[in-house]
């Protein structure tokens, strides 16, 4: 059995529910194409704040917001760009149980996006439930006549039992920009990166695979990525959590963001060129 259904607007925002037998499921909001639930091996692996706002305006605090065309503060608009706060269009769905279950969302420039950022583009984002993992394929095509430059990232919030026990592999020896320490660059010297303070680091030239250990249920998440050269690790910790209206004061203990992106340098596309990148999330058996 595989299925895909719309949940009516009255129940939160409009969303698409994907399910693959009883093994895995995902909910994707049309608002921002934000994945707000991803059940793998019987447990939702994504953190969404109890205070997250679902009003088709604000970015959703949790899940997997899509960041485009700007990671971080932006002179032209809101931090992290407009893709996470814009309605996307569902353009394809595949529910054949013999194949994978997937849905594709698209976002193209329109009057509103061009009033902020005067460029033409088309993004395709496919969320697929496979036998053992969920795959997120992201592509951007330059549909204009001028060069296109942007940064992009999948801002994944993972659920954890207790941040104190969580560790991340694959970062030792890498340079990172520490946004908490004025954007200075340091070199990571730990095999297992743990987080115990306000943490906001952009690791550069990271390998295509990280393990995130001791997440919810003690599970190890395998995060694999392709053509996303950077990995951002973020947790606001206690003080910053208190300043966020859509995040509970103690919720920082229950989440870790490990974000695959192309953010240290922009992607540059000539007219008609397409950028492809992807990530995969699986539970280690």
101 interacts with ligand BG6 by CB under 6 A: no
Number of residues that bind ligand BG6 (CB under 6 A): 9
23 is catalytic: no
User: What pairing do the DSSP bridges indicate for beta strands 221-226 and 230-235?
Assistant: unpaired
Contacts of 62 (CB under 8 A, 6+ apart): 36, 46, 47, 48, 49, 52, 157, 255
Q: Give me the least distance between CB of 279 and ligand BG6, in Å please.
A: 15
Q: Which is nearer to ligand BG6, 33 or 128 (CB)?
A: 33
163 interacts with ligand BG6 by CB under 6 A: no
Site track for ligand BG6 across 30-69, x = CB under 6 A: -----------------------------x----------
Q: Which is nearer to ligand BG6, 132 or 179 (CB)?
A: 179
- Which residue in the list 80, 155, 210, 262 is annotated as catalytic? 155
Q: Give me the least distance between CB of 75 and ligand BG6, in Å please.
A: 15
User: Helices (H) and strands (E) in the chain — how many of each?
Assistant: 2, 21
What is the rounded CA–CA span in Å between residue 174 and residue 19?
38
Chosen residue from 20, 155, 210, 262 binding ligand BG6 by CB under 6 A? 155
Chosen residue from 12, 51, 132, 179 binding ligand BG6 by CB under 6 A? 179
- Which residue in the list 31, 80, 259, 262 is annotated as catalytic? 259
- Residues 66-83 as b or e (16 or more Cβ within 10 Å = b): bbbbbbbebeebeebbbb
79 interacts with ligand BG6 by CB under 6 A: yes
Residue 171 and residue 188 in contact, taking contact as beta carbons nearer than 8 Å: yes
259 is catalytic: yes
- Residues 104-135 as b or e (16 or more Cβ within 10 Å = b): bbbbebeeebeebbebbbebbbbbbbbeebbb
Phi, psi of 275 (to 5 degrees): -100, 130
Distances 118 to 102, 111, 148, 276 between C-alpha atoms, Å:
31, 9, 10, 22
Site track for ligand BG6 across 224-253, x = CB under 6 A: --------x-x-------------------
189 to 228, contacts with ligand BG6 by CB under 6 A? 200
Q: Give me the least distance between CB of 274 and ligand BG6, in Å please.
A: 25
> % helix / strand / coil in the chain, to the nearest 5?
10, 45, 40
Active site residues: 155, 259
Enumerate binding residues for ligand BG6 (CB under 6 A).
59, 79-80, 155, 179, 200, 232, 234, 259
């Amino acid at each position: 059995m595989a299925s895909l259904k719309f949940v009516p607007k009255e129940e939160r925002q409009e969303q698409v529910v994907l399910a693959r037998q009883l093994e895995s499921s995902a909910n994707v909001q049309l608002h921002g194409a934000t994945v707000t639930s991803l059940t793998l091996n019987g447990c939702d692996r994504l953190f969404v704040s109890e205070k997250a706002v679902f009003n088709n305006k604000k970015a959703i605090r949790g899940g997997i917001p899509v960041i485009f065309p700007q990671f971080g503060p932006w002179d032209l608009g809101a931090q992290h760009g407009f893709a996470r706060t814009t309605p996307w269009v569902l353009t394809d769905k595949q529910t054949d149980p013999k194949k994978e279950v997937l849905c594709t969302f698209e976002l193209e420039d329109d009057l509103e996006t061009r009033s902020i950022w005067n460029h033409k583009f088309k993004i395709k984002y496919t969320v697929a439930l496979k036998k053992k993992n969920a795959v997120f394929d992201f592509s951007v095509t330059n549909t204009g006549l001028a060069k296109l430059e942007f940064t992009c990232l999948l801002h994944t919030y993972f659920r954890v039992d207790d941040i104190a026990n969580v560790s991340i592999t694959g970062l030792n020896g890498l340079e990172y920009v520490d946004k908490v320490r004025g954007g200075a660059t340091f070199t990571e010297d730990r095999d297992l990166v743990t987080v115990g303070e306000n943490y906001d680091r952009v690791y550069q030239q990271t390998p295509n695979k990280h393990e995130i250990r001791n997440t919810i249920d003690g599970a190890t998440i395998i995060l694999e990525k392709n053509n996303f050269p950077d990995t951002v690790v973020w947790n606001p910790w206690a003080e910053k959590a208190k300043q966020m209206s859509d995040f509970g004061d103690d919720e920082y203990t229950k989440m870790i963001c490990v974000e695959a992106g192309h953010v240290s340098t922009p992607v540059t596309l000539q007219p008609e060129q397409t950028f492809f990148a992807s990530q995969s999330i699986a539970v280690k058996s």
